[in-house]
Chains A and B, each alone.
Chain A
Amino acid sequence: MPSNLGMRPRLCRLATLFVLVNVFGCATVIHNPILTTAADVKARGIRYYRSAPYLLVWQDGKGGLGWDIQFLPDQTQLMEARPTQFLASIQDGGEGGDGLTFENGVLINAEAAGDATKVPIALIKAGEAVATKLGPGFSAGTKKPTNLLPPRLYRIVVKPTGIEFVGGAADTEKIFVGNAAIHGLDVAITATSEGASE
């Protein structure tokens, strides 16, 4: 049946759908990765970082080692969150109604907050293995050193077969701790390394 608006029926339906979509329900937050500086200049969303676990090892100045697992903003993963809405009433930013909450640049609505008390035991065991491996070369033994080496920072990469620690002294060091060692299947926790490990 010809339209009494003088428009073709398919075009009319499309236009009506467009209006309905705009009027009802288009309230969302879009998250996009920002990979380059140029993209950062063009982007219009709220910038934030994702978080990532790191292992920090340092000489304690008394012949031993101190180590800690830290969740830091991952500076390689800049993101944008872009709340959009069209004629819908967005309350408090959209997702869940709580607004967007950040901690040290990390969006914690969407990310697991860096909480040292919730670090998986596997990570702790693997961190112990790395500290043990570094011990003889990195620590100064029983003598109190007069000059301390700079601390070392490893990014923790969880793989299906174990946990890899990358970074360290020469920036390209890799230390791998396998699942067998982490879960106690080996008698002693072992770590294998490549690169510039001591």
Chain B
Amino acid sequence: MKRLYAIALLTLSVPGCTSITVHRIDSSQSEELGVRYSLPKPFLLVTPQEDGSVTAKVLYLPDPDHTYAISAGTVAGTYSLRTSLSPEGFLEKVRFSADDAAVAAQLAESAGNAAASRIDQQQKAASDAAAARTARQKQSLDTLVGGVDEWRKANAELNTANATVENARSGVKAAEAALATAQVSGDVSAIAQAQANLVTAQNALRTAEAGLKNAEEAKALVSSLLRIGGATAGLPGASQATATKKANGPALFAIKDRRVEDGRYYPRLVAVKYPVTDPVTGSTQLSFDAIDNRPSKPAETAEPLGPPILRTATARKGEEIKIDLSKMGAKTIVNVECRVESTEVDGKELKVELKGEISTDQILTLTLPTNAEPGTYDCYIDVGTGERKTEKQLTVKE
């Protein structure tokens, strides 16, 4: 009786062990079963815009140091584990249902369910990994980090596919020639062998052509994404007109927390360095010591700007200032924008509005209004390329 009671205890206690298990994955080669997910690692993406402004955006990427495999197991029972992952591979939802109420009745079936669930998990893990890879590619393209590398990879795969098709075509031609030779000889077995070889070669050609089509589509997709991301300028063969539109590269900072002596955690922005070289200009990526906010390099087709003809200008109220724009190097002046910043003298804000006219010989005449407040102003003159501005100081006297 005592033994029966112990068995009853054991029977009722053991089968209930249905639980979720999560293992840390230290290597991408790990054979641990389960759906992979990563904790996100926050980064700050700072992107200089063409107009000189800057945008800052928090971006999450999978953290390889915090990658886990999630699975469920049971001694006896049925369960369903449903995990939802974001395209980046982050865990979004875990729904876990277990039913051990009919343990005894479903003992055998449970084993089958568990095995099937494991297979499902493996298939889902493979599917999730593929989705994460696609998302990573798109994300890297979106952020222009590694976009050119993705394009090169797609281009190399296309070249390989082209070579494979050419080889297959050569194989078909050789098989056709062999068949013709066999038919001339009249050897039945040789003809049969040659026909079999021809069929094999034709199948290989069809497979190679399908691969070529896939590679062409993949390259087209990457190229379109790059165009959306604005990195077309960095691609070999990109048009010069597009290349002149490029802006400075983005700067990426990892957000880290670290503990210091006082026991507190202090956040820290750590600049991410990665060797990226522009295939057109040969220039390398920013050093990230500071974010380069200089205006974009002038277009190669544009005339180089000459030295500033006027660093400072002094005029009295109502006087005219003449600036020879032809000496600024631009052949064609599209428009001229002259902007004068307000200034402050003794706590009083001063403003001046300049009216400018361009003559046919490209002389810009600026007229100081008679009510201009005396003072020194910063003056910006844009000669129309939209990329270069000349900075001057304008002093207005009584």
Once A6-B2, A87-B16 are accepted as A-B contacts, the answer to whether A46 and B53 lie under 8 Å apart by CB is no
Chain A residues whose CB sits within 8 angstroms of the CB of B13 once the complex forms:
18-19, 22, 86
A62 and chain B: residue at smallest CB distance: B53
Contact with B along A38-65 (1 / 0, CB 8 A): 0011011111110000101011111000
Query: Is A155 in contact with B266, judged by CB distance below 8 angstroms?
Result: yes
Assess whether B280 is interfacial by the CB under 8 Å rule. Answer: no
Chain A residues whose CB sits within 8 angstroms of the CB of B5 once the complex forms:
5, 7, 15
Contact with A along B245-284 (1 / 0, CB 8 A): 0000001010111111000111111010000000000000
Query: Is A91 in contact with B97, judged by CB distance below 8 angstroms?
Result: yes
Question: In the complex, A54→B54 CA distance in Å?
Answer: 19
A173 and chain B: residue at smallest CB distance: B266
Chain A residues whose CB sits within 8 angstroms of the CB of B22 once the complex forms:
43-47, 80
Contact with A along B9-27 (1 / 0, CB 8 A): 1001101111111111010
| Distance in Å: Cβ of B197 to nearest Cβ of chain A | 57
Chain A residues whose CB sits within 8 angstroms of the CB of B292 once the complex forms:
147-148
A23, A89, A92, A146: the one within 8 Å of B95 (CB) = A92
Query: Is B42 in contact with A73, judged by CB distance below 8 angstroms?
Result: yes
B13 and chain A: residue at smallest CB distance: A22
Query: Is A61 in contact with B48, judged by CB distance below 8 angstroms?
Result: yes
Once A46-B22, A87-B16, A171-B258 are accepted as A-B contacts, the answer to whether A76 and B265 lie under 8 Å apart by CB is yes
Query: Is A102 in contact with B257, judged by CB distance below 8 angstroms?
Result: no
Which listed segment binds B: A126-134, A137-145, A177-185?
A137-145
Question: In the complex, A61→B54 CA distance in Å?
Answer: 6
Chain A residues whose CB sits within 8 angstroms of the CB of B49 once the complex forms:
61
| Distance in Å: Cβ of B3 to nearest Cβ of chain A | 10
Query: Is A153 in contact with B268, judged by CB distance below 8 angstroms?
Result: yes
| Distance in Å: Cβ of B255 to nearest Cβ of chain A | 6
Query: Is A104 in contact with B90, judged by CB distance below 8 angstroms?
Result: yes
Query: Is A86 in contact with B17, judged by CB distance below 8 angstroms?
Result: yes
Count of chain B residues near A, Cβ 8 A:
73
Query: Is B1 in contact with A6, judged by CB distance below 8 angstroms?
Result: yes
Question: In the complex, A82→B20 CA distance in Å?
Answer: 7
| Distance in Å: Cβ of A137 to nearest Cβ of chain B | 15
Chain A residues whose CB sits within 8 angstroms of the CB of B99 once the complex forms:
89
Query: Is B100 in contact with A89, judged by CB distance below 8 angstroms?
Result: yes
Once A72-B58, A105-B90 are accepted as A-B contacts, the answer to whether A83 and B253 lie under 8 Å apart by CB is no
Assess whether B40 is interfacial by the CB under 8 Å rule. Answer: yes
A12 and chain B: residue at smallest CB distance: B5
Assess whether B290 is interfacial by the CB under 8 Å rule. Answer: yes
Query: Is A144 in contact with B52, judged by CB distance below 8 angstroms?
Result: yes
A147 and chain B: residue at smallest CB distance: B290
Query: Is B60 in contact with A104, judged by CB distance below 8 angstroms?
Result: yes
B41, B100, B255: the one within 8 Å of A87 (CB) = B100
B6 and chain A: residue at smallest CB distance: A15
Question: In the complex, A7→B2 CA distance in Å?
Answer: 7
A15, A44, A99: the one within 8 Å of B9 (CB) = A15
Query: Is A100 in contact with B93, judged by CB distance below 8 angstroms?
Result: yes
Assess whether B300 is interfacial by the CB under 8 Å rule. Answer: no
Once A61-B48, A155-B265 are accepted as A-B contacts, the answer to whether A149 and B290 lie under 8 Å apart by CB is yes
Contact with B along A1-20 (1 / 0, CB 8 A): 00011110000000100110
| Distance in Å: Cβ of B271 to nearest Cβ of chain A | 7
A103 and chain B: residue at smallest CB distance: B92
Assess whether B363 is interfacial by the CB under 8 Å rule. Answer: no
Chain B residues whose CB sits within 8 angstroms of the CB of A88 once the complex forms:
16, 100
Point out residues on B near A: beta carbons under 8 Å. 1-2, 5, 8-9, 12-13, 15-24, 26, 39-42, 44, 46, 48-49, 52-54, 56, 58, 60, 66, 68, 70, 82, 90-101, 103, 251, 253, 255-260, 264-269, 271, 288, 290-294, 341, 343, 378
11 additional A-B residue pairs with CB within 8 Å, beyond A72-B42, A80-B22 = A44-B22, A46-B22, A58-B54, A62-B53, A75-B42, A86-B13, A89-B98, A90-B97, A104-B40, A142-B378, A167-B267
A-B contact pairs, 26 of them (CB 8 A): A6-B2, A19-B13, A44-B21, A45-B20, A46-B20, A46-B22, A46-B68, A56-B56, A61-B52, A68-B56, A75-B256, A82-B20, A83-B19, A85-B18, A92-B95, A92-B96, A94-B96, A105-B60, A105-B90, A144-B52, A147-B291, A148-B48, A148-B292, A150-B251, A157-B264, A172-B266
